[in-house]
Amino acid sequence: MASVTVRSSSHDYEVLIGKGLRHHLVEFISSGYTSILVITDSTVKDYYLQDVKESLSEAAPVFTAVVPAGESSKSMVRYEELLDSCVDVKLDRKSLIIALGGGMIGDLAGFVSSTYLRGIDYIQMPTTILAHDSSVGGKVAINHPKGKNLIGSFYHPVKVIYDIETMETLPESEIRSGYGEVIKHAFLSDEDWAHRLLKGKLSELSVNQLESDIMKGIQVKASIVEKDEREAGIRKYLNLGHTLAHAIEAELGYGEITHGEAVAVGLLFMMKLSNELKGAQLPIQAYKEWLDNNNYPVSVLTRIRPDRMLERMRLDKKTLRRKINFVLLHELSDPYVVEIEEAQLLEQMSLLINEVSGE
């Protein structure tokens, strides 16, 4: 088992990562909780809820709440239902919530924890690779019909317990999704790691490799959010690849491709802008091959229109005084934020679309 400590303005917390941790939860949870509510989704429930319940049974009375799997559960309706559950099972200030699932559950259960009784303790138990990103940093939220994550708060867990064995049941598309954010963290921080990832194939990933990549990803995220918890400055770097990714997700409709897959495509555009407009020499060819070899849905680029993407990017949170800002790289591990002219964005997007469609 490995661990990282994350510092936040409210408290420090540990991220534990290892194989089979779900069977030993009592060892990692402070004593003295009056009761525990495990919140999970309908898919994760079938795989892991029983193990988690059994493992917690010595710690305190355990209750469970299950929401349907999928992003649409990050909603006002499910939020309200979960608050009802908290009241029904009489959670008090000394109770604990456990978020057992991917980023959807982490964000939803974290938001419930942050507001019930003005905030009670919660633990993240991530079950997706992508959740290495969402379980650290304290952002919790639900969606509004008009936009993602519009209702939320900053609220850190008391612990993150990452049982790497739970990744074994992930479908391929979720492995790709998780690695979209993993490779983003590598591009932001470590040239050697990035090159190592580019040489590998996700279908041949070993458990040890996965554990190490997740750990490194968490360290990158933690070190950035520790310095800038509320995104006044360098936390923006974590948006690498996301300006186009968010526009693609919104345009295609959420769920058409996964978030991390959209990020992986967004990173390709980031490389193109960095190289073509700013003279960087990022390994775009190697990256394209990696995307191909791992079946990333790069062809979505042929289904989008640059002018519509531009319109959506104007809504990006980094857009200030109507200027579109991008996170780019001078070189691997050297990010910066820069404003890009709309005409240049349109041109580079069209060029990339042509390249991808083989014209």
Ligand X SMILES: NC(=O)c1ccc[n+]([C@@H]2O[C@H](COP(=O)([O-])OP(=O)(O)OC[C@H]3O[C@@H](n4cnc5c(N)ncnc54)[C@H](O)[C@@H]3O)[C@@H](O)[C@H]2O)c1
Q: Show which residues are catalytic.
A: 118, 139, 181, 221, 231, 235, 239, 242, 246, 259
CB of 138 to ligand X, least distance (A): 8
CB of 126 to ligand X, least distance (A): 7
Q: Residue 6 forms beta bridges with which residues? A: 13
**Is 168 flagged in the annotation as binding?**
yes
148 vs 330, beta carbon nearer ligand X: 148
Residues 6 or more apart whose CB falls under 8 angstroms from that of 127 comprise 44, 47, 48, 100, 101, 102, 163, 166, 167
Which residues would be at the binding site for ligand X (CB under 6 A)? 41, 43-44, 47, 69-71, 74, 101-105, 107, 127-128, 130-131, 133-134, 137, 139, 148-149, 166, 169-170, 174, 177, 259
CB of 341 to ligand X, least distance (A): 29
Going by C-alpha positions, the residue among 122, 219, 119, 128 that lies closest to residue 166 is 128
Q: Residue 335 forms beta bridges with which residues? A: 329
The residue nearest ligand X at its CB is 103
**Is 115 flagged in the annotation as binding?**
no
Separation between Cα atoms, residue 127 and residue 165, nearest integer Å: 9
CB of 235 to ligand X, least distance (A): 10
**Is 148 flagged in the annotation as binding?**
yes
Determine how many CB atoms are found less than 10 A away from the CB of residue 94. 12
**Is 24 flagged in the annotation as binding?**
no
**Is 34 flagged in the annotation as binding?**
no
109 vs 349, beta carbon nearer ligand X: 109
Contacts 24+ apart (CB under 8 A), 27-31: 28/159, 28/161, 29/56, 29/59, 29/96, 29/123, 29/159, 30/158, 31/59
215 is written with which tokens?
Answer: 């750990």
Separation between Cα atoms, residue 131 and residue 104, nearest integer Å: 9
Annotated binding-site members for Zn(2+): 181, 242, 259
Annotated binding-site members: 127-128, 139, 148, 166-169, 181, 242, 259
Annotated binding-site members for NAD(+): 127-128, 139, 148, 166-169
